[in-house]
Structure 1
Amino acid sequence: MKLKYLLAVLIGASSYGILSTFVVLAYGHGYQLGEVVGTQLLTGCILSWLLAMYTKLREKRKQGTNSGGRTANLTDSTAKSAKKLTWKQRLMLMLVGTPTAITGLLYYYSLQYIPASLAIVLLFQFTWISVLIQAISKRERPNGVMLFTLVLLFGGTLLAAGLMEQGGAQFSAIGVTFGLLAAVSYSLFVLFSGKALPSVNPAYRSAWMITGGLVLVFILFPPHFLFNGLLWSNLLLFGFLLGLFGAFIPPVLYAIGVPHVGEGMTGILGAAELPVAVMMSSIVLHEHVTALQWIGVVIVLLGVMFPELYKRSKRRLVTN
């Protein structure tokens, strides 16, 4: 497993950690759920298609260079990427992309009923949900390393979110339900994003997946902000930031890394979202983060690093 694929997933997950801060700021300006998610996916979709167009242009130049020299035949990888997607494949990618939009809708909706600290705890249940889905699909039990890692992640998440100090007084049945549904949706995205046409160039895959999510959101929430002038307010800035860090960077990096990393490891690396979210809330929103919460952040980071550290130590013992 190459380091660049691990870093791709890790950076993609960290990008998700920035979103909650921007969503809180957007709600503070009076914007609604459909407007926030709609502008996020719209800007993310535009950025993704610009990347796809740039990738296609590069491929054409490469093909022209190959055909002009002695090596007239394309390599296998170039030939695969040069093939046009069928509409069946495009629709499949659009369908796979819908969990991205659903996750955003469910998670952002839960933020209207429960504190952000509790919402992110519920979202982070995707760690064990991803492992459970993988275990059921492969009909095998998680090993001891994976179980120990999940214990670290779960315990650290509770501390980092400040749930121990807040108690259960702020629990809302609606908020908790939607937070857990967001975790399930995110787990499905992690699962399907790595299996949907992995041979297709990640730029094309991401563009069609985000397009599918955008279509779903516009069906559920008609984009009135495109015509009433609201888009040209601060909503455009929030939409760009959310689209960049939520709908563009993570899907692209996940499309690159997940097929090589695997769903189980992707679920673990995704825990990097939590410490990033805590740091952003402290720096940007000026929220008070206690020492107990920072201890939780450290535990989560240890949980993220533990599987790879364990593998490396095991390899050293074998080689020695």
Structure 2
Amino acid sequence: MDFPAFCILEVIKLKEMHRWVAIILVLVGASSYGILSSIIKLAYESGLNELQITTGQLFFGMMILWIIIGFRRRAWQNPIKTPLLRLTLLGFMGIALTSIFINASLRDLNASLSIVLLFQFIWISIIIESVLHKKLPTIYQMLAVLIVMFGTILAVGLSIEDLQQMSIRGFIYGFLSAITYSLFITFTGRVATNIDSVLKSAIMITAALPPSIIVMIILFPSQTYIQGELSTFLFWGLFAAILGVVIPTISFNLGIPKIGGSLSAMLGAIELPAAIIAAVIVLQETVLLAQWLGVFLILIGIIVAEKK
């Protein structure tokens, strides 16, 4: 093999490796969100409320990201010289509002129905991508969506009784969480892709925190930060920050620009299997055979989505 051909082959291998690394990063970020649901449930059981948990998640996540930046001086860039408004909107709409809306939905609906509503982000993201690229989804994408949505219904054990007891307010919050998560998945790969991923994540969370607190105070007017012990707030706030802010935002900011929003949306379906496995291990919940079948179908859907 001559030298130029060998070099081209090595470049192709490197690109393939980068693609799979990006896929793994998106899977890690989505799985982290899935595990977070069990941690949030434990935080509620410890006596914390939605206002405390969501604020702690965002605030401690912001602090951890800036600490990481402090040890990575070469990644530093003046935030004022970045597309600050777009990063603020991305952080506020994608991370903060998604957390706020899903927590509000969980207040009025059971977890199963809230998860099904959140998972509408899969087809919403693909529609947004299709509009942006001005082309229809592929047959594999449409097939993957059907498989994943059917698998989701099985995996959460959704029943007719759940639908009959549905709260309109909870439904609206749940569907809004799907829309905001779709926007985050879609535009993370389009905004400020030349900025270091950790710095980008830190700017997004920092700029989005003040308006997020205002929204939470409006949504949860009867709640207060003065509830429970400080050590409890610090423990669960840090835990939620790592799983709900640090790992997902860095992983998505690294991975999504390389593989696009449509595939990232399908890979995001791994969040539910991760949530179920975490519930079994952390909360020691019982999972039925039909739910494991749903998990299997979701994994099949993710594989189908990767087809060209």
RMSD (Å), alpha carbons? 2.0
Q: Deviations over 1:64-83 (max 9, x none)?
A: xxxxxxxxxxxxxxxxx665
Gaps of 5+ in 2: 1-15, 218-222
User: What's the CA shift for 1:128?
Assistant: 0.2
User: What's the CA shift for 1:221?
Assistant: 4.1
User: What's the CA shift for 1:229?
Assistant: 8.1
* Superposed counterparts of 1:81-92, under 5 Å: 84-87=78-81, 89-92=83-86
* Superposed counterparts of 1:42-191, under 5 Å: 42-56=59-73, 59=74, 84-87=78-81, 89-99=83-93, 100-164=95-159, 167-191=162-186
Residue identity over aligned pairs, in percent, reads: 34
User: What's the CA shift for 1:170?
Assistant: 2.9
- Kept after mapping to 1: 8 A contact 2:48/2:233: yes
- Kept after mapping to 2: 8 A contact 1:33/1:108: yes
Paired positions, count: 285
- Kept after mapping to 1: 8 A contact 2:269/2:302: yes
The AA in structure 1 aligned to 2:261 is: E
- Kept after mapping to 1: 8 A contact 2:113/2:162: no
Provide the residue aligned with 1:272 in structure 2. 270
User: What's the CA shift for 1:173?
Assistant: 1.3
- Kept after mapping to 1: 8 A contact 2:26/2:267: yes
- Kept after mapping to 2: 8 A contact 1:20/1:116: no
For residues 285 and 174 of structure 1, the distance between their equivalents in structure 2, rounded to whole angstroms, comes to 28
User: What's the CA shift for 1:8?
Assistant: 0.6
* Superposed counterparts of 1:227-238, under 5 Å: 228=226, 232-238=230-236
> Is the aligned partner of 1:205 residue 2:203?
no
For residues 289 and 187 of structure 1, the distance between their equivalents in structure 2, rounded to whole angstroms, comes to 28
Structure 1, 228-237 or 291-300: larger mean CA deviation = 228-237
Gaps of 5+ in 1: 60-80, 312-320
Provide the residue aligned with 1:20 in structure 2. 37
- Higher radius of gyration, 1 or 2: 1
User: What's the CA shift for 1:135?
Assistant: 1.0
The AA in structure 2 aligned to 1:86 is: I
User: What's the CA shift for 1:101?
Assistant: 0.3
Provide the residue aligned with 1:74 in structure 2. none
For residues 240 and 293 of structure 1, the distance between their equivalents in structure 2, rounded to whole angstroms, comes to 30
> Is the aligned partner of 1:196 residue 2:194?
no
- Tell me which of 257, 260, 266 is aligned to 1:259: 257
Provide the residue aligned with 2:21 in structure 1. 4
Instruction: Name the SS for the 1:289 alignment partner.
Output: coil
- Kept after mapping to 1: 8 A contact 2:100/2:216: no
For residues 166 and 200 of structure 2, the distance between their equivalents in structure 1, rounded to whole angstroms, comes to 38
User: What's the CA shift for 1:123?
Assistant: 0.4
- Kept after mapping to 1: 8 A contact 2:147/2:300: yes
Structure 1, 102-111 or 159-168: larger mean CA deviation = 159-168
Q: TM-score, normalised by structure 1?
A: 0.84
User: What's the CA shift for 1:240?
Assistant: 0.9
For residues 14 and 30 of structure 1, the distance between their equivalents in structure 2, rounded to whole angstroms, comes to 25
Query: Structure 1 residues 292, 82: CA separation in 2 closer, same or farther (over 3 Å shift)?
Result: closer
Structure 1, 164-173 or 43-52: larger mean CA deviation = 164-173
- Kept after mapping to 2: 8 A contact 1:48/1:207: yes
User: What's the CA shift for 1:230?
Assistant: 5.0
- Kept after mapping to 1: 8 A contact 2:130/2:136: yes
